[in-house]
Amino acid sequence: MRLRRPTIDSVIRYGTAVALAGLAWALTLVFQPVTDQHPSLLFVAAVVFSAWYGGLWPGLLTAALADVALSYIVKNDAPELGLVDVLRLGVLFVVAVSVSWLSAARSRAEEALRQTAARTRAIINTAADGIVTLDETGRIESFNPAAERLFGYAEPEILRRRAGELLAEPYRDNFDAFLGLWREEGGTSPLSPASDREFTGLRKDGTTFSMDLAVSVVQVEDDHRPGGRGGGRERLLFIVIVRDITERKRLEREILEIGDRERGRIGQDLHDGLGQRLTGIAFMAGALKQRLGGKSLPEAADAAKIADLVNDAISRTRSLARGMSPVHVGAHGLMSALEELTSGVQSLFKISSRFVCEHPVLVHDDAAATHLFRIAQEAVNNALKHAAPTEIIVRLSRTDGTATLAIEDDGKGIPGPGNGTPPAAGASHRAGMGLQIMAYRAKIIGGSLQVRRAGPDGGTVVACSFPIAGLVAAPGGTCTDGMEKERGLHAAAQSTAR
């Protein structure tokens, strides 16, 4: 049977065990006047250190050598093995075994921590989303490779800087408010509404991108403060997961625009195709009624009924066409469409409905005008379905730098506080896709949507505020003048088409 060659580590551990036993013996002899009362103290210390550093067998070796040395020191000659020697050896062995077990457990725990830290670091470094950790003041503590790619910063150059530097306006100025909100609420849940978590990020090169943030807040032991290690001092750590949603928002915007274009195409087909055919049928039915009436035939009454039914179908077709493509081309198109919306509600549902516009708000962007109309249309439909109102008012107004489209009803009102909240923030709105789509349409045009109670007795106000950039106020006149002109131009265009 071949013996294994000892490794350098084994030689060091067993050599240290022998050296410690010899050192304890030498120190005991040197300081014998002091150690006479307790000659075993230094040997016990040697056993503890040997077992902690070398493990079980080096610790037992030191214990055996210590027992032999103590026998010589106590009896000053080569002693015979007695009961006291056996008990002393047993105690030293127990010390060696206990200390080596504790040392092995500590080593296993440290190795498990190292492996866990390595796995966590590997997961963080290979994650597709950016992961950023912040201290309780909002300064960056770590920055994974995905975050480096998103923002264009290397980790060393961004550490200890304020995380607000990674946000574009207006989020940068409000970063401390967001930090306080996360601290109070414990972060944001990954299941919380997207509108609560969407921000605009700012890259190192100055470009911006849309991003989604999920924030977790944890308490960790602070090793940097006095008393941090085991001293009970803890601090907050913000773990922020960053996802670039630029492509997702582009696709969502395209889906909405495709839907609007398709509705417009269907509305145009209804007006130019089916509407024109029905107009021809109505003309023929009218001519047939006249011929039959001239001959005093009883079928003339049936022909008149047919003509009336066809005319009614023409009116319904035109209403459908206007619903599919409500905003006519032109700066006054939005105001005209909103007036037609309120007029239609009043005639169909027999409730008071009016459009209020004190000063013209000219929207030259047809896509933005369509989004605003769809917001008003959805808000009116929601009021009719759920609130049982007696009056609906649609207001379009402007102030310095901002325009507001507000839809107010005097119905049952929404549950919850009276202050304005984003539609996705309250539990009562989470199930409504219509409200979420309205909020998204508002974001597309750079605005925001709020839903609030109109007053303590009920009622609801849906308000969309959007920047005035891209909107031009008329130099003179009123909303009514502009809408009359717009309707005249639209009617002329329809007559030309016919």
Say if residues 263 and 377 touch (Cβ distance below 8 Å): no
- Region of poorest pLDDT, from 54-58, 208-212, 245-249, 272-276: 272-276
- Region of poorest pLDDT, from 166-170, 260-264, 330-334, 419-423: 419-423
Q: Each residue of 407-426: b (16+ CB within 10 Å) or e?
A: bbbbbebbeeeeeebbbbbb
Q: Under the phi-then-psi rule, with left for phi > 0, alpha for psi from -120 to 50, and beta for the rest, what region is 24?
A: alpha
Q: How much is the mean pLDDT over the chain?
A: 80
pLDDT at 185 over 70: yes
Report which of 276, 242, 264, 256 is spatially closest to residue 321, judged by C-alpha positions. Answer: 264
Long-range pairs for 437-443: beta carbons < 8 A, 24 or more residues apart:
437/256, 437/378, 438/374, 438/375, 438/378, 438/379, 438/462, 438/464, 439/195, 440/195, 440/252, 440/256, 441/256, 441/371, 441/372, 441/374, 441/375, 442/371, 442/375, 442/466, 443/195, 443/198
Predicted confidence (pLDDT) per residue in 249-277, tens digit: 888 888 878 887 787 788 777 777 887 88
Tell me what pLDDT residue 440 has: 85
Bridge partner list, 396: 405
Tell me what pLDDT residue 329 has: 46
Rg of the chain over Cα atoms, rounded to whole angstroms, equals 42
Predicted confidence (pLDDT) per residue in 89-140, tens digit: 888 888 888 888 988 888 899 999 999 989 988 999 999 999 999 998 999 9
Tell me what pLDDT residue 461 has: 94
pLDDT at 374 over 80: yes
As a whole number of angstroms, the distance between CA 143 and CA 120 comes to: 14
pTM assigned to the model: 0.57
Tell me what pLDDT residue 316 has: 81
Tell me what pLDDT residue 470 has: 57
User: Residue 439, Cβ neighbours under 10 Å: how many?
Assistant: 24
Structure tokens at 154: 């290397």
Tell me what pLDDT residue 79 has: 52
Place of tokens 């294994």: 4
Predicted confidence (pLDDT) per residue in 116-125, tens digit: 989 988 999 9
Q: To the nearest whole percent, how much of the chain has pLDDT over 90?
A: 23
Tell me what pLDDT residue 414 has: 74
pLDDT at 86 over 80: no
pLDDT at 207 over 90: yes
Say if residues 345 and 353 touch (Cβ distance below 8 Å): yes
Kindly indicate the confidence band of residue 474, based on its pLDDT and cuts at 50, 70 and 90: very low
Helices (H) and strands (E) in the chain, counts: 15, 12
- Region of poorest pLDDT, from 63-77, 353-367, 444-458: 63-77
- DSSP state for residue 447 in the 8-state scheme: -
Kindly indicate the confidence band of residue 158, based on its pLDDT and cuts at 50, 70 and 90: very high
Tell me what pLDDT residue 40 has: 78
Predicted confidence (pLDDT) per residue in 437-458, tens digit: 888 888 888 888 999 988 888 8
Q: To the nearest whole percent, how much of the chain has pLDDT over 70?
A: 79
pLDDT at 194 over 80: no
- DSSP state for residue 127 in the 8-state scheme: -
Predicted confidence (pLDDT) per residue in 295-316, tens digit: 888 888 888 888 888 888 888 8
Residue 278: exposure state from Cβ atoms within 10 A (0-12, 13-18, ≥19)? buried
pLDDT at 489 over 70: no
Mean pLDDT across 404-425: 69
Say if residues 142 and 132 touch (Cβ distance below 8 Å): yes
Tell me what pLDDT residue 492 has: 46
